[in-house]
Amino acid sequence: MSGELERRYRRVLRLLPGYYRAQWEQDMIGAFLDGWLTGDPESDEYISRVARPGWAEVTSVAGLAARLYLGGAGAPRRYFAWGQAVRRAVLAVLLVHAVLAVDILVFLERGRRLVGWLPPPPASLVIAAPGGVWGMAYYLASVAWIASFVTLAVGHYRTARVLAALAIVPGLAALIQAQLTGIMPAPFASWPFWVLIDLAPVLAMTAFHRNAPPAVPLPWLLALPAGYLLVYGPLLALQATGNSAWLPDFPGLCCILVSLACLAHAPRAWSRRAGGTGPWSLTLVLLAAVAGAYRIVTLSYYLHDPHLITVSLTELLIVLATVVLVAPDAVRAQTATPAPPPYPRAMTA
Amino acid sequence: MTGQAFFVLTALADEPRHGYGIVGEVAELSGGRVRLKIGSLYGVLDRLAAEGLIEPDREEAHDGRLRRYYRLTRDGRGALAEEAELRAATARVVRVKLGLAGAEAAG
């Protein structure tokens, strides 16, 4: 009598992990059908033929599935490892955004001499600061990225999510305007950047749910000034000494940074004594996938220049070669990472 | 405790209920403000069961499909009473700050 409708709901519930379905599927199907069926055989047969799961129901099941696959405390090992890896990858991408934002604000300050006692920058490093509404939106987005990173690191997940969602809006608006008019209104980035580096982490912030163990804030917060000095120190030195030709573009820089992180992590990933490295290895595999995808989709920018294509492919090969070092540990993480007990809030990421 | 968890525990306070029964009771308790989706409900039930605040009561077949009933555990009852007290105390403070408590007493 409820056969067709039940089949449709079972199809929706296939979004959920198998272990969860084994425990709850029958119960959930009963609850879904209770919402439709009347007990009158004729009406129920008609309803069963024509009724479909609503979008709100499908969305709520999809949301539940995302929280379960990106597991937190009490989740099976595999899903806990994926949850930790995605949470750390999101923090790492937000750290990159925050470092970029600090750089933008530093240049704004130095270009406009907002703090009078600081020395002016060398003429070779001065860039034209965007003005008007778009310029303001650009700077506000930068501040929002820094605030989002900090609030996420200290465990205010909802605030971080709202700030990050706001931070990606000006970039999208500028890209749409550029699409319509052919003119980019401010130094916002490209569609690949917006999709992979802006939108993807905002969507992946689903991993920061109620059961997600909070990150240890201090190392992440210290990584912001450290990251700025370690990345922009060498870059500015290259630029100031007239060696700009050695500067990688942003996708190349992402590949190099992920490769360096893989090399730094590899000894721990291969050590038999170091435990619990798996989620970090999985994090690096995810970051390498993002950096690699970004490098591949931006190859088309250099089709006119065989030298730059060679450089870009070399960056891609380097990231592939280094991620192979941590990949076995990432695979092991899915079976070897013990999940913390259910729902205490004092765990560390 | 989240608002959803509070409403689910409240729905189970007087008698065991099955999934859809909880959805209906929560809608009634909240005057229609909270309409739980099934995905959200089972996320909450799973968490409350793992925390030991609810447990399965019985299973019944109804029109050829399963209905599993849930009830509050002793811990669940305690947690709900504590949360209700906390919310009532907060509400009292808000009413005093808004000047509603005196007006009501006078009225």
Assembly ipTM = 0.83
Task: Count A/B contacts: CB-CB distance under 8 Å.
Answer: 80
The predicted structure's pLDDT at residue A196: 92
Mean pLDDT of B69-83: 95
The predicted structure's pLDDT at residue A14: 95
Domain ranges of chain A: 3-67, 76-215, 248-349
Q: Report the DSSP pairing between strands B17-18 and B54-62.
A: unpaired
Contact assessment for residue B36 and residue B23, using Cβ atoms and an 8 Å cutoff: yes
By CB atoms closer than 10 A (0-12, 13-18, 19+), residue A159 is: middle
The predicted structure's pLDDT at residue A73: 80
The predicted structure's pLDDT at residue A121: 57
Mean pLDDT of B35-61: 90
Tell me the C-alpha to C-alpha distance, in Å, between residue B93 and each of A189, B98, B101, B106, B107. 50, 9, 9, 18, 19
d(CA A88, CA A324): 19
The predicted structure's pLDDT at residue A169: 93
Contact assessment for residue A281 and residue A268, using Cβ atoms and an 8 Å cutoff: no
The predicted structure's pLDDT at residue A347: 34
Q: What sections of A182-242 are H helices per DSSP?
A: 191-193, 200-204, 217-240
Kindly determine whether residue A28 and residue B50, on different chains, have CB atoms separated by under 8 Å: no
Average pLDDT, chain A: 85
Average pLDDT, chain B: 89
d(CA A170, CA A166): 8
Kindly determine whether residue A57 and residue B38, on different chains, have CB atoms separated by under 8 Å: yes
Give residue for tokens 């525990």. B9
d(CA A61, CA B65): 20
Task: Read off the DSSP letter of residue A91.
Answer: H
Contact assessment for residue A225 and residue A254, using Cβ atoms and an 8 Å cutoff: no
Query: How near does any CA of chain B get to the CA of A159, in Å?
Result: 17
The predicted structure's pLDDT at residue A179: 85
- Residues A27-76 have pLDDT tens digits of 899 899 988 888 788 888 888 888 899 999 999 999 999 999 998 887 88
Contact with chain A for residue B19, Cβ under 8 A? yes
Q: Which two tokens stand for residue A37?
A: 């069926």
Strands laid side by side in the B54-62 sheet:
B17-18, B65-72, B54-62
User: pLDDT by residue for chain A (349 residues), tens digit each?
Assistant: 568 899 999 999 999 999 999 989 988 998 999 888 887 888 888 888 888 999 999 999 999 999 999 988 878 888 999 999 999 999 999 999 999 999 888 877 766 655 555 555 555 555 556 667 888 888 899 999 999 999 999 999 999 999 999 999 998 988 988 888 877 776 667 888 999 999 999 999 999 988 888 888 999 999 999 999 988 888 778 777 777 777 888 899 999 999 999 999 999 888 866 666 888 999 999 999 999 999 999 988 888 888 889 999 999 999 999 999 999 988 888 776 555 555 433 333 3
% pLDDT > 70, chain B: 94
Using the predicted structure, report yes or no on whether residue B38 has a pLDDT greater than 50.
yes
Contact with chain A for residue B81, Cβ under 8 A? no
Kindly determine whether residue B39 and residue A60, on different chains, have CB atoms separated by under 8 Å: yes
Q: Which two tokens stand for residue A310?
A: 């060679």
Contact with chain A for residue B20, Cβ under 8 A? yes
Query: How near does any CA of chain A get to the CA of B66, in Å?
Result: 6
Mean pLDDT of B69-78: 95
Nearest beta carbon to residue B63 from set A28, A29, A37? A37
Query: How near does any CA of chain B get to the CA of A219, in Å?
Result: 29
Contact with chain A for residue B61, Cβ under 8 A? no
- Long-range CB contacts for residues B77-83, cutoff 8 Å, separation at least 24: B77/B13, B79/B1, B79/B9, B79/B53, B80/B6, B80/B9, B80/B10, B80/B13, B80/B53, B83/B1, B83/B6, B83/B9
CA neighbor of A109 nearest in space, from A138, A129, A132: A129
Give the HSE-up count for residue B42: Cα atoms under 13 Å, Cβ half-sphere. 28
CA neighbor of B40 nearest in space, from B66, B8, B68, B16: B8
